[in-house]
Chains A and B, each alone.
Chain A
Amino acid sequence: MTQRLPRQEHTALLEVSDLSLRFTRRSGWFRQSYINGLCNVSLSVARGEVHAVVGASGAGKSLLAWAVMGLLPANARCTGTLRFDGQPLDASRQARLRGRSLALVPQSVAALDPLARCGDQLRWAAQRAGIPTTSIQQRVARVLGQYGLEPGVTRAYPHTLSGGMARRVLLAMASIGDADLIIADEPTVGLDHANRERVLGYLRDLAAAGKAVLLITHDLRHALKSADHVTVMRSGTTVECAKAHQFSGEGSQLTTAYARALWQALPSNAFLQPRPVNPVNEAIDLA
């Protein structure tokens, strides 16, 4: 990220077009079979916005995150294009930008190193992001303050932290290098109301500071509270991208039956009432 394009409000920072992904699997000695992961996934995320990706488990939300970060296993075969800040995002650029311009808040707090103090993990994250050694201490202090963590947290080991604190340490690690794109994979799972609101608030703050935030979640209710755009995924493909405010009333501003059904199934909406359209009939052919 040495030469940065002049900031344009409506150009996307991350553009994913027709991304398909399958895993090869050996069957027998000479034959290979394939498992489809993603199929024609397209979305774009602009600076200054929280863009939520919502869908059932197994819809391919985390695969999308790993594909953008370049963290897919070796047997994954990708087609389609990824662009970041106007330039193609290939494996070598991913490796260069990962931890610097591209940051991931992983789904599991088990991603923290159980044998290292949180302070060391924050310092390592700053080093990986290319922060000069002289200013690392200052950066650590800044992110601790930013995420409401006591200075004593630097001496703590991950297992002594509550779930909410561990999540904030992961957020602090992801944003310590001022990444332009932050991908947060299910960052509120297992958190109670207060901690959840707090984490979602931090993601909004990052967007307000000009970052692009991709929020991956199964929880439509909370996605709508914090996101500007919502992309709905199902069975490995993107079904619909809508503005958050289009999820309202009967869902008449949504174009697909599946997105409408997801919205209508919220407990605060129709919930258990029979749905007018059965989304299962909206077949998606992944073959």
Chain B
Amino acid sequence: MLEAHDLQFTHAARPPLLSRLSLRIEAGEVVGLYGDSGSGKTTLGRLLAGELRPQAGQVTLDGNDLPKQGLHPVQRLSQAPEHAVNPRWRIGRILHEAWTPPDAMLEAFGIGRDWHSRFPHELSGGELQRVNVVRALAPGIRYLIADEISAMLDTLTQAELWRALLGETERRGLGLLIISHDTDLLARLAQRCYRLEDGSLTRSPVSLSSGTSSPA
């Protein structure tokens, strides 16, 4: 299980962003996180993925510190996929950066064969996001932090991405933290939800807004 213990994080010369924050995600569990912009959701994601180090507290995986080298078992998917790839690499090289995804998975995520020879800027944001997701699903990955990965997508593309990703995480028992402002999405996907406010988490169940009735 992925655990954050009493995390403390402050950006230089700012008030503390996260204070004594603790969170636990079990294998196979889907946890939702929402909060206002600037509340520290992305920072928490980066701490959990080992991209940042907390000033106090620690992040552990099955009771041990996060590994400092090799394939990182906690992978973060960012809202801006274009910032997570080398712009001078072709898609084929990006896809195979960590592992060789099987054809069935490429198909499930709708990754075209003709994309391999293209550069990142020649794909749309949604297409590039799917490439990033598949790249992050290497064997040995245990947890995924999905930080607003579908905010830029139309509803159909969004549903297709989540259908493919949940199929994979369920099959492999991966833990998933979904960061999103869309509480309807969290209500559909997450087993537990937290709101991040004033540096700490509050467990807060979310429910679907209007359902299938006419939107007001």
Residues on A lying within 8 angstroms of B by beta carbon are 54-58, 163, 189, 191-195, 218-221, 224-225, 244-245, 247-250, 261-263, 265-272, 279
Contact = CB atoms under 8 A, between A and B. Distances in A.
A267 B216 contact: no
Contacts of B152: 57, 189, 218
Nearest to B148: A190
Interface residues of B, number: 33
B36 A265 contact: no
Contacts of B69: none
B187 interface: yes
Say what secondary structure dominates the interface of chain A: loop
Contacts of A271: 159, 162, 188
Interface of B: 36-37, 124-126, 151-159, 162-163, 166, 181-182, 184-185, 187-189, 208-216
A64 to B, nearest CB: 16
B212 A56 contact: no
B126 A56 contact: yes
Contacts of A194: 36
A262 B160 CA distance: 11
B159 A272 contact: yes
Contact of A55 (B125, B151, B154, B159): B154
Nearest to B215: A224
B184 A218 contact: no
B188 A56 contact: no
A249 B213 contact: yes
Contact of A245 (B151, B163, B182, B214): B214
A249 B214 contact: yes
Given A193-B181, A224-B215, A268 B210 contact: yes
Contacts of A250: 212
Contacts of B156: 56, 261-262, 265, 279
14 contacts: A195-B37, A221-B155, A221-B184, A221-B215, A224-B215, A225-B216, A247-B214, A249-B214, A262-B155, A267-B185, A268-B209, A268-B210, A272-B159, A272-B163
A226 to B, nearest CB: 10
A180 B41 CA distance: 40
Contact of B188 (A55, A247, A263, A272): A272
A127 B212 CA distance: 48
The 6 closest A-B pairs by CB, nearest first: A248-B214, A192-B37, A267-B184, A265-B155, A265-B159, A56-B154
A163 to B, nearest CB: 7
B208 A267 contact: yes
A218 B154 contact: yes
